Amino acid sequence: MLRKPLHDIFPAPPADLDPQLLDPAAVPVHLGVIMDGNGRWARKRALNRLNGHRAGIEAVRELIRCANDVGVRYVTIYSFSSENWARPVDEVGGLMNLFATTMLAEVEGLHEEGVRVRTIGRLDALPARTREAFERAELRTRDNDGMTLVVAVNYGGRDELVHAASQLVDQALRAERAGREAPVVDAAALERCLHTAGIPDPDLILRTSGEMRLSNFLLWQAAYAEFSCTDVLWPDFTRYDLLRALLDYQGRERRYGAV
């Protein structure tokens, strides 16, 4: 459901884009975003990579506002993967500070918009200030019933699956020790052990900067997601790039393996 008229959400579209073609009933329930290109954006401007990450924050704001206004119910942003620890120490430290500062600065605005913040990934490995900022945002917004912003931080799809399998093994061992029948292991049981338990699978996964890979993002959940890739570097991504992706998505036929 639209929260604003389309001409207010997209007030100055390019000549080749007509916002009125967007069908509110065909907007994805869950949008996943792999935000790529911050480093290349910075390099093109002879800046360090952290400047690119800072520039990408405004694109995140734009994405959240626009997705919320057009009726997307869940947005998952891939902010820091479990493999990103291999980046230079100063970049990782700068990112952790940026996450904390941004989350603390944005949480009241998100709360006023009715957005609920949720994190997925292993927060226990984050610096205390960063972890506490995410925890505070979750606590502040937990009763909101608007769009859910899912921040994937220190997240990896393979790690998530290993963690879920480990939980299933633990459940079986506890049942055995208690003399009970082991629980059934099926897709539903595994999904209950994922970080995304209770969140619908993504309908559309968008990736910027011309890359065309999942990079360990929502591996289980993306089984039947549609994909949209753009050459736009993340800091340059605007609501009109999102509109292009949404219009393309609403023209897809999703068959889930059927004919």
Active-site residue set: 36, 84
DSSP-derived secondary structure letter, 89: H
> Bridge partners of 77?
33, 151
From 90, 112, 24, 84, select the one nearest 217 (Cα to Cα). 84
Tokens of 213: 């890979």
User: Could you tell me the sign of the dihedral formed by the alpha carbons of 92, 97, 100, 105, in that order?
Assistant: negative
Q: At what angle do helices 239-250 and 49-70 cross, to 10 degrees?
A: 50
Alpha-carbon gap, residue 213 to 141, rounded angstroms? 32
> Bridge partners of 81?
155
> Bridge partners of 234?
none
Are the C-beta atoms of residues 152 and 76 closer than 8 Å to each other?
yes
Q: Please report, for the chain, how many H helices and E strands are present, in that order.
A: 8, 6
Helix (H, G, I), strand (E, B) or coil at 223: helix
Q: Determine which helix (DSSP H) or strand (DSSP E) holds 230, and give its type and residue range.
A: none
